[in-house]
Homo-oligomer: A and B are copies of this chain.
Amino acid sequence: MVKMTDVAREAGVSTATVSRALNNHTKVDPALVDRVRAAAERLGYRTNHIARSLRRQTTDVIALIISDVANPFFTAVTRGVEDVAQERGYSVLLCNADEDSEKESTYLGVAEQTQVAGVILSPHRSATDVSRLRGAGTPVVVIDRPLDTDGDSVMVPSFEGARSATSHLLDSGWTRPAAIVGPAEAATAQERLRGFQRAMSDRGHLDAPFVHAAFRQGGGQEAARVLLDSPTPPDSLFVANSQMMLGVLAELRARNLRIGRDLGVVTFDDPPWAEFMNPSITAVSQPAYRIGAEAATMLLDRVAGGAEGEPRHVVLSTSLVVRESSRRLP
């Protein structure tokens, strides 16, 4: 491994000059800069970021802790984060908490120990503890799901999205909607459930059925099974994310139930496949890429400008993409 002292010797200057020249620091004689650059090039020198980080007490990487890599919503968020991070010279340490508090806390520890410059987190529960990180001066931006403690965030109005999706079901002529929401501990699950319930109670349906399940295909399928097996099965479903929707589709297929005729469905999240289903799936679309991009921008601004100052909250809006699955056929 060729290091700075090698370059310094080759260029006939001190390591300090090499450091300054390579990092286009303060004023360095242009001639020297060239000489150093040339020497570095010749030797194939590359900065040792570990050493730099130890000295600078911070790194060029930000951690992105998401709830599920298999979920297209989060991969779209990831692309948004990556694009702005890359543009600003940062790498992204992607951590898949996998809807599991324990894994999440492991990763929070990794983020701390590797001294990442900042963290973007989609917390599993609102009680997730980020105090150590913040205590160490590491900026944290929360996305998708809120935290009990205040701080920078990029959110989407889950309540309103769920409410409008449910109202739409009712408007389309379905009379007995039920909801399949995420696990009780997830804030987005609670919000989406509240939105659903509000829409229902506004129309006089007071005890609308719902079931909590894991934010995954298996969870969605299990929930659909329970609901459809109940004494008074629903005639339509509001499903709280696209992974669960896949499970619902599996269950409907197993029971030979046809969407649009036997059952209306709407899902939160608009995965790429939704429009190509037959019938196509009505969805509450979230600006996932923008959520990621905004969060990364906000985070890197903090990294540069210091963590002080009022918490900032960005709320992006959802939109209901009406397709065929919510239409009631005769």
Contact = CB atoms under 8 A, between A and B. Distances in A.
Contact of A276 (B107, B113, B246, B275): B246
A109 interface: yes
A114 B91 contact: yes
A79 B96 contact: yes
A115 B50 contact: yes
A126 interface: no
A184 to B, nearest CB: 25
Interface stretch (A10-18, A33-41, A67-75, A146-154): A67-75
B272 A217 contact: yes
A208 B212 CA distance: 51
Contact of A136 (B1, B113, B132, B279): B1
Interface string A229-258: 000000000000000001001100100000
A315 interface: no
Contacts of A93: 61, 91-94
B69 A59 contact: no
Given A46-B109, A47-B113, A113-B47, A70 B70 contact: no
A191 interface: no
A51 interface: yes
A54 interface: yes
A134 interface: no
Given A112-B46, A276-B250, A278-B278, A106 B78 contact: no
A103 interface: yes
A100 to B, nearest CB: 11
Given A93-B93, A94-B92, A76 B70 contact: yes
A96 B78 contact: yes
A53 interface: yes
Contacts of A95: 91-92
Interface residues of A, number: 51
Interface string A101-137: 0010011011011110000000000000000100010
A48 B53 CA distance: 11
Contacts of A132: 44
A82 interface: yes
Nearest to A77: B69
Given A50-B115, A51-B54, A276 B277 contact: yes
Contact of A54 (B50, B61, B136): B50
A75 B69 contact: yes
Contacts of A76: 70
11 contacts: A44-B132, A48-B115, A49-B114, A49-B115, A50-B115, A61-B114, A75-B75, A78-B96, A86-B106, A91-B107, A271-B273
A-B residue pairs, 8 tightest by C-beta: A94-B94, A278-B278, A273-B273, A249-B276, A49-B113, A50-B53, A50-B54, A69-B75
Interface of A: 1, 44, 46-51, 53-54, 59, 61, 69-70, 72, 75-76, 78-79, 82, 86, 91-96, 103, 106-107, 109-110, 112-115, 132, 136, 217, 246, 249-250, 253, 271-273, 275-279
